[in-house]
Amino acid sequence: MINLYFFVLLPILTAVLIYLFSKKYMKNLALLVQLFFLVATVVNFNYVKKHGTIIETIGGWTNYTGISLKMDLLASVMVMLVAFLFLAFLIFDYPKKYVNKLFLLLFLILQALITGIILSNDLFNIYVLVEVSTIVVAILIMFKKDSRSLYDGIVYLLINIVAMTFFLFGVGFLYKTFGVLDLQGIKEGISLLEDTKPLILPYSMMITAAGLKSSLISLFNRLAKAHVTPSAPSIVSALLSGIYVKTGIYLFIRLQDMFSPAINTSNFFMIVGFLTGVIGFILALSQTDINLMLAYSTISQIGLIMIGINYPSEDAYWGSIYHIVNHAFFKSTLFLITGIIIEKYGTRNINKIQGVFKRMPFISIASFLAILGITGAPFFNGSFSKYLIKTALSGNPLEYGIILINLGTVLYFLKFLSIFKNGTGKTPFKIDNYRRSITIVLSFMCFIGGILGQFFVKFLFNHTVIFDFSNYFQNIILFILTLIAGLVIYKYIIPKLKWLSRIKEVELDFNNICLLITLFFIIVTLTVFFN
């Protein structure tokens, strides 16, 4: 077993070392440390599987007094996922000139902060880590320093500061009540309370912040655009959509568990998840910017995940957790690929990009695998995780919500596929081996994660899935029918919906977003109060 603080300190120390001393070998050093970091996460994952949860208290304090780090099975998988993808992203852009000492400093520090958020068991520590990570993300968004990225980065930073102020006030209320900041200590204290009304305000404040970090409904308009600001490097967009947004979901899970002895808002957040999924795919379908389409696609998938997480079924819960892992792979693949496409074609307008398959066949194949994964095509990773969620919801009205969200996913990827049609260009684009290899590896994981889905869920989460092939066959038939319906709707109905083109022009300013955050907080508060 490796001490948990190692996973936070190693990237930071490496970043500082590279920034202060290394120049010639800085990328090689970063890659070497990333590889070592990944191996260390695998070692601890195996330890947790065999011996159970690891809890470390910094400074040797006891009884929830000091800052503690906790690695259970979910946290160990999340940290392992972070390590793998950060290594992949670094290899992907290894030859690029913008990957300099400053970029590596920010990149590695962000890795440490994300890892710290996952491992921390102390609320104030989580607040600090989220705030600092927000600043680093904002700097990465503004990295190329053009006017659009500066605007997006500053607005992103300010919105997150507002949301985390809610979180901080919630932490203050809890500390006044229980005298500790440890999640487990607070959970034990909550279970002893006779009057739980004083918990309503802190819960609503903290879950509002988690809602924004998770990009839930009404909180995501500006965040999605900031994640894919035109000048942001493609690995930054992949990082934010593939990994960073998952810290919000993870924080949501931890908060729901902490408040579970007194507060249950599962039904409310299943509805919120459904609305998020539907609005997400409508916004994705309305876009002509290829990266914005993928950004809103992430919103739609977050809605699907939220439904499964909140449904009272282990299959639905672990199916959603597995979908988090799957989403990290297929969405990272797609963002990396669109980064290549935008670089080669010089535009993000999907209507101006054609002939991608002819000019970049390997990249196109990787893209097809990722699309099959996200749309839930049979035997691909998204298919298995969606199968678990949908099967668990059998008989519940939200089962049809899952089908609707997946139909939306099919629709906007039918639009995405238009870029692969034959164009006028005949000369193939040259793609370096670093980028080609990473996109192929990540996309291949979309296939492996499907055919070995039952094994991975058991191996990663110790959850046994009773696989019913006849039920899975029904899902295959359903996917085929969804695909046929999608083709008909896309060809004959979507072109007639003129309001779709107007939706993408809607952009909320800072004041309106703050108003929506407050409205979300009020709705959550009233929901808990009258529950």
CA distance 426 to 358: 7
DSSP letters spanning 24-84: TTHHHHHHHHHHHHHHHHHHHHHHHHHH--EEEEGGG--TT-S-EEEE-HHHHHHHHHHHH
Distance of CA 316 to the CA centre of its chain: 18
Q: Is residue 287 part of a domain?
A: yes
Burial 200-209 (b: 16+ CB within 10 A, else e): bbbbbbbbbb
Q: Are residues 8 and 144 in the same domain?
A: no
pLDDT tens, 30-42?
Answer: 999 999 999 999 9
Cα separation of 425 and 431, whole Å? 16
**In-domain check, residue 470:** yes
Angle between helices 147-178 and 183-192 (to 10 degrees): 50
Same-domain status, 239 and 373: yes
Closest CA to 436 of 491, 364, 521, 350: 364
d(CA 207, CA 196): 16
My answer on whether 301 and 370 are in the same domain is yes
Question: Are 511 and 363 in a shared domain?
Answer: yes
In-domain check, residue 363: yes
Model confidence at 414: pLDDT above 90: yes
Are residues 140 and 88 part of one domain?
no
311 belongs to a structural domain: yes
Amino acid in position 81: L
List pLDDT tens digits, range 139-188.
Answer: 888 877 766 778 878 888 888 899 999 999 999 999 999 989 999 999 99
Q: pLDDT category, 195, cuts 50, 70, 90?
A: confident
The residue among 121, 148, 176 that closes a domain is: 121
Q: Is the pTM of this model over 0.85?
A: yes
In this predicted structure, the answer to whether residue 335 has a pLDDT above a threshold of 90 is yes
What is the pLDDT at residue 526? 95
Q: Is the pLDDT score of 392 beyond 90?
A: yes
Say if residue 327's pLDDT is above 80. Answer: yes
Are 385 and 453 spatial neighbours (Cβ–Cβ below 8 Å)? yes
**pLDDT value at 419 more than 80:** yes
Alpha carbon of residue 13 to chain centroid: 26
- The number of helix segments (H) and strand segments (E) in the chain equals 23, 2
pLDDT per position as a tens digit, 101-132: 889 999 999 999 999 999 999 999 999 999 99
Q: Decide: helix, strand or coil at residue 122.
A: strand
Same domain, yes or no: 117 and 142: no
Contact, 342 vs 348, CB < 8 A? yes
In a domain, 316, yes or no: yes
Residue 216 has pLDDT above 60, yes or no: yes
Residue 210 amino acid letter: A
Query: With the C-alpha atoms ordered 329, 335, 213, 267, is the resulting torsion angle positive or negative?
Result: negative
Mean pLDDT, the chain, rounded, equals 90
Residue 217 pLDDT grade (very low, low, confident, very high; cuts 50, 70, 90): low
| Residue 397 shares a structural domain with residue 249 | yes
Q: Backbone phi, then psi, for 75, in 5-degree steps?
A: -65, -40
Strand partners, 182: 122
Using the predicted structure, report yes or no on whether residue 214 has a pLDDT greater than 80.
yes
Final residue belonging to a domain, choices 121, 142, 165:
121
Is the same domain home to 102 and 170?
no
pLDDT (0 to 100) of residue 270: 95
Tokens of 222: 């500006």
The answer to whether the CB of 273 falls within 8 A of the CB of 249 is no
**Per-residue pLDDT averaged across 228-246, rounded?**
84
pLDDT at 473 over 60: yes
pLDDT of residue 220: 52
Q: Are 115 and 140 within one domain?
A: no
> Looking at 8-17, 234-243, 260-269, which range is the least confident one?
234-243
User: Does the pLDDT value for residue 246 go beyond 80?
Assistant: yes
Residue 221 pLDDT: 58
For 263-268, what is the mean pLDDT? 94
**pLDDT at 374 > cutoff 90:** yes
46-78 confidence digits (pLDDT tens): 999 999 999 988 877 777 777 889 999 999 999
Residue 48 contacts residue 73 (beta carbons within 8 Å): yes
**What domain range is 17 assigned to?**
1-121
Q: What is the pLDDT of residue 423?
A: 67
243 and 104 in a common domain: no
In a domain, 396, yes or no: yes
Q: What is the distance between the alpha carbons of residues 300 and 307, in angstroms, rounded to a whole number?
A: 11
Express each pLDDT in 340-357 by its tens digit: 999 888 899 998 998 899
Give the per-residue pLDDT at 425: 58
Is 477 in the same domain as 378?
A: yes
Look at residue 126 and tell me if it is in a domain. Answer: no
pLDDT of residue 222: 59
| pLDDT score at 99 | 85
Residue 152 neighbours by CB distance under 10 Å = 24
**37 and 143 assigned to the same domain:** no
Domain boundary among 72, 89, 121: 121
pLDDT band at 83 (very low <50, low <70, confident <90, very high): very high
Number of domains in the chain: 2
User: Does 269 map to a domain?
Assistant: yes
